[in-house]
Amino acid sequence: MVWVFCAVCLDGSLPAYHLHRGSGAGATNWLLQFEGGGWCNDVESCLIRAGTRRGSTTLMNKQEVFSGILSNNASFNPDFYNWNRVKLRYCDGASFTGDSHFRNKSSVLYFRGQRIWDAIITHLLPRGLAHARKALLSGCSAGGLSVFHHCDDFSRKLPNATVKCLSDAGFFLDAKDIASNFTMRSLYEDLVTLQGVEKNLNEDCKASLANPKLCFFPQYVLRYITTPFFLLNSAYDVYQINHILVPPSADIQGLWKSCKTQLSECNTAQINLLQGFRREMLRASLFIFRGSRRDGMFINSCFSHCQSELQPTWLALDSPRIHNKTMAEAVGDWYFGRNVTKLVDCPYPCDRHCHNLIPQIAQNDDL
């Protein structure tokens, strides 16, 4: 673990990253991966977070196992195994975008995500990043959301490199829940206000919306990103099912409890709502699918969340596939221009390759 100065985590500890140096032909190429881990949107939740590894580097593991897209094994990660691979530790609670603080008589919280991003990049530039020939900015979950907000800035900082961006499980939808409330929108609006995020959001996006706070959502900012972008996501993202489509506040009676833990317990109406959520995700990302050749996507129909960091889902004998192509192959083909990669899976339950976090319904072609 490498600590950096000029910024602090929620609790005031120094931010940090892990670096595994590249070798051979990959020695001048860089992959930076944002760590994920949710958000905090009010003082109470941020105070709790500050006392965990999500808000303090003093509580983090000092060493990390790199797997999936971060693996140094050519068999498991053939396109990026010998690159310089960096994992940016997440300790701010706003996807590396905030710039504010909170203080009362007994507590202080530092919302310095934007400064953490700037400090880590400043630290890495003289250590080889400034001379990168190829670079990929990626992230998972809340880290995948970070990619949307820092992609173009990363590209500007490396004017002589081929820079592209990959978001894994970061395409969080601005969608109504089953009670017709925008639960996730409320959370993000509170977060943006508390952590001083709005000034760091994309200016073109903010100018286009009556409510500029909505630019924290990737579906609104993506159209303004000019750097080549790859969207890796499940159409039935488990986090989004549990927190956007069916948050606890929308299911007071617990009618979805069985369905969310065992798909065989879902009734027809619930399955139809899950299929509707998939369609909403595809609509929100459709302009990528129809757009330029520079962008790519891999949208599978697995009940999962974060697939690039896990070896079984990134690249293994039984990894998820779309048209017989793994996500590792799809990302590599896109990054290196070997093929236009815009893959969208058929609806559940047709995919036989999934590593589901929710137990499957018995495969039934009549479902």
Say whether pTM exceeds 0.75.
yes
Catalytic residue status for 123: no
Please give the torsion angle defined by the CA atoms of residues 36, 41, 42 and 46, in that order, rounded to the nearest 10 degrees: 10
Whether residue 52 has pLDDT greater than 60: yes
SS3 label, residue 228: coil
Residues 6 or more apart whose Cβ sits within 8 Å of residue 159: none
- Report pLDDT for 66: 97
Query: How much of the chain, in percent, has pLDDT values that exceed 90?
Result: 89
Q: Does 332 map to a domain?
A: yes
Calpha distance 270→280 (Å, rounded): 15
127 versus 262: the higher-pLDDT residue is 127
SS3 label, residue 29: strand
Instruction: Output the DSSP codes for 54-80.
Output: TT-GGGS-SS----GGG---TTT-TTT
Which residues constitute the domain of residue 293? 2-344
CATH, residue 211 = 3.40.50
Catalytic residue status for 305: yes
Instruction: Output the DSSP codes for 318-351.
Output: T--EETTEEHHHHHHHHHTTSS--EEEPPPTT--
CB neighbour class for 102 (10 Å; exposed up to 12, middle 13-18, buried from 19):
middle
pLDDT single digits (tens) 188-213: 999 999 999 999 999 999 999 999 99
CA distance readout (Å), 205 to 21, 129, 143, 191, 255: 36, 29, 20, 18, 38
pLDDT single digits (tens) 138-156: 999 999 999 999 999 999 9
Calpha distance 246→253 (Å, rounded): 12
Calpha distance 255→272 (Å, rounded): 15
Q: Does 359 map to a domain?
A: no
pLDDT single digits (tens) 305-334: 999 999 999 999 999 999 999 999 999 999
Which candidate in 92, 237, 251, 351 is catalytic?
A: 237
Q: Does 361 map to a domain?
A: no
Q: Where are the alpha helices (DSSP H) in 180-263?
A: 183-194, 203-208, 218-221, 238-240, 257-261
For the chain, what is the mean pLDDT?
94
pLDDT single digits (tens) 271-297: 999 999 999 999 998 877 677 789 999
What domain count does the chain have? 1
Mean pLDDT of 156-163: 98
Whether residue 46 has pLDDT greater than 80: yes
Whether residue 105 has pLDDT greater than 90: no
- Report pLDDT for 43: 97
- DSSP class of residue 14 equals P
Residues 6 or more apart whose Cβ sits within 8 Å of residue 58: 11, 13
Task: Name which of 47-61, 121-135, 238-252, 260-274 the model is least confident about.
Answer: 260-274
Tell me which residue of 162, 275, 132 sits closest to 227, measured CA to CA.
162
Calpha distance 201→227 (Å, rounded): 16
Q: Does 317 map to a domain?
A: yes
Do 92 and 196 touch, CB atoms closer than 8 A?
A: no
Mean pLDDT of 345-360: 82
Split at pLDDT 50, 70, 90, the class of 361 is very low
| Token duo for residue 338 | 């070997």
Q: Does 363 map to a domain?
A: no
Q: Does 320 map to a domain?
A: yes
pLDDT single digits (tens) 164-190: 999 999 999 999 999 999 999 999 999
- Report pLDDT for 272: 96
pLDDT single digits (tens) 20-40: 999 999 999 999 999 999 999
Which candidate in 138, 141, 285, 308 is catalytic?
A: 141
- Report pLDDT for 288: 73
Calpha distance 249→266 (Å, rounded): 19
CA triplet 158, 65, 303: central angle to 5 degrees? 90
Which candidate in 71, 305, 345, 351 is catalytic?
A: 305
Q: Does 17 map to a domain?
A: yes
- Report pLDDT for 359: 65
- Report pLDDT for 121: 98
Split at pLDDT 50, 70, 90, the class of 365 is very low
Give the residues across from 111 on adjacent strands: 100
Whether residue 362 has pLDDT greater than 70: no
Catalytic residue status for 237: yes
Q: Does 362 map to a domain?
A: no
